[in-house]
Structure 1
Amino acid sequence: MSGGFGARLQALADERGRLCVGLDPHEPLVRAWGLDYDAAGIERLARDTVAALADEVMVFKPQSAFFEVFGSRGVAALGRVLDDIRAAGALSILDVKRGDIGSTMSAYARAYLSDDAELRADAITLSPYLGFEALRPAIDLAHATGRGLFVLCHTSNPEGEEVQFATHGGHTIAQGVVDHAQAENTEHGLDDMGLVIGATHDNAGVDLSGFTGWTLAPGIGAQGGTVEGLSAIFGASAHHVLPSSSRGVLRAGPDRQALQEAARALILH
């Protein structure tokens, strides 16, 4: 699959429909699958989910923290999950929410966005709250390697608004994230930089009318968001929204057919 991340995402959306399945192996979920809560158990849940949905789902989003909790064994398991996603012809968004400055941000970028990184993903999530420009090492490396970035904007947790809706320079911090992200997309003539806006809100809380990238919308299912509600939240931008559900799909497992049916019920065509 050639082209930048945004183009690859659009091609898969046209082919499979829009849905991101989050791979968040919570302990109760792992045990409900009849698995031990250890590195082997979380790996089995994640890889079995990818195998069941490999031909149906366009994007998988492993949450790194659930693998990191088991140390080096968990990180190695995460690497194998990412390998499976690539082999399935799907795209990966590694949910790491990194955000730092200088050489530390450069190291984070190399860990996930370099072509030779063991945990390389097609895209990662970033936190811009040390300043958007602090993300520059990741932005530049993503452009160099054809990968994508999703930057936290208006997140699904209500307490996030105390920071995201604070004002600076005549607009909210969240709107500033939108504007900075669009400036990057415009400068490079690509739509490889996206936003993270929760599907749990009554409205997006920001003006997306000029935004050409993709918006990742977590919170479908267990957090109360619905795919039917996306149009009300995002309006004319809803066609570029990627709904994301984790427990809403995973709790249907481990039965393969049940996982497929749960995912199909959420896919937007």
Structure 2
Amino acid sequence: KINIAFFERYYADGLDAYFDLIQEADRAGLIVIGDCKRGDIGSTAEMYASAMLAEPDFANLEDLTGPDAITVNPYFGLDGLQPFIDVAREEQKGLFVLVRTSNPSAAELQTAKLESGMTVAEFVARQVENWAADPTLVGHSGYSAIGAVVGATAREEIATLRAMMPHCLFLVPGFGAQGGTASDIGACFKPDGTGALVTASRSVIYAFDDMKYVERFTSEWEKCIEQACKDFVAEVRNAVPK
């Protein structure tokens, strides 16, 4: 999962680096998620979908590939998401729609109660499941090209959201540096152990600043990151239903 903001900060050179990193990951056989959280009205959304998700259609960029999926913001409703859905369907790619995010102040909006008794996040989850259940988007695994972002820090809400979105893969941020733990994420998975992609960013990337790894590997930053990645994988594996 590559957060485009840290590349856009450096303007054209940063975007070059973003797409270079996607190419390198693709050559390594990795699935790439572009964390760009785009969303807008129809015509602008079409341009965002072309830029962020579609394969380039310019002759001089024919060897360039885009990410396999991106994150999108549902606040504009279906007409703001439809261009992204169309590209995902046409190019067999994926979307992860923000439903319950992992940042501390997310609850101010996302857990607010509506007249129906549902929270805002639950209402969005219901809409996302309706879009995801489109048979033209559901693959042989039973999961849709439309998934949902559900943060590991929303521990008390995860089970409800999982039940509401059976066709959605969950992209689960918030593990590690934001406070999410292995005990928080089990409900993101279905009983067969499928249904969630758990991510850790800062806790792995900056492991060379973590004394737990520094004491073991001193200045060998690559080994710090490698061990942090192994520890993360082991924690997630232990949380997956057997």
Q: 2:189, 2:195 within 8 Å by CA — same for their partners in 1?
A: no
2:81 to 135, 143, 166: 135
Q: 1:209, 1:236 within 8 Å by CA — same for their partners in 2?
A: no
**CA shift for structure 1 position 172:** 2.7
Distance in 1 (alpha carbons) for counterparts of 2:173 and 2:15: 23
1:179 to 120, 123, 126: 126
- AA in 1 matched with 2:131: E
**How high is the TM-score relative to the length of structure 1?**
0.70
Deviations 1:146-196 (A, max 9, x none): 010001111112322232233457233322322222223321233211111
Q: Does 1:111 align with 2:65?
A: no
Larger radius of gyration: 2
Aligned to 1:201: 154
Number of residue pairs matched by the alignment: 208
Aligned to 1:263: 229
CA change 1:182–1:83 in 2 (3 A) is: same
Identity between Structure 1 and Structure 2 (%) = 34
Q: Does 1:81 align with 2:25?
A: no
Deviations 1:40-99 (A, max 9, x none): xxxxxxxxxxxxxxxxxxxxx111111101110111111100111101100111111001
Distance in 2 (alpha carbons) for counterparts of 1:163 and 1:252: 32
Q: Does 1:154 align with 2:103?
A: no
- AA in 2 matched with 1:164: Q
CA change 1:133–1:166 in 2 (3 A) is: farther
Q: 2:155, 2:185 within 8 Å by CA — same for their partners in 1?
A: no
Structure 2, unpaired ranges of 5+: 58-63, 209-219, 238-242
Q: 2:42, 2:79 within 8 Å by CA — same for their partners in 1?
A: no
**CA shift for structure 1 position 124:** 0.4
Query: Aligned to 2:32, what secondary structure does the other structure show?
Result: strand
Tell me which protein shows more strand as a share of its residues. Answer: 1
Query: Aligned to 2:232, what secondary structure does the other structure show?
Result: coil
Query: Aligned to 1:257, what secondary structure does the other structure show?
Result: helix
CA change 1:89–1:169 in 2 (3 A) is: farther
Q: Which structure is richer in relative contact order (CA contacts within 8 A, separation 6 or more)? A: 1
Q: Once superposed, what is the RMSD of the aligned Cα atoms?
A: 2.2
CA change 1:167–1:106 in 2 (3 A) is: farther
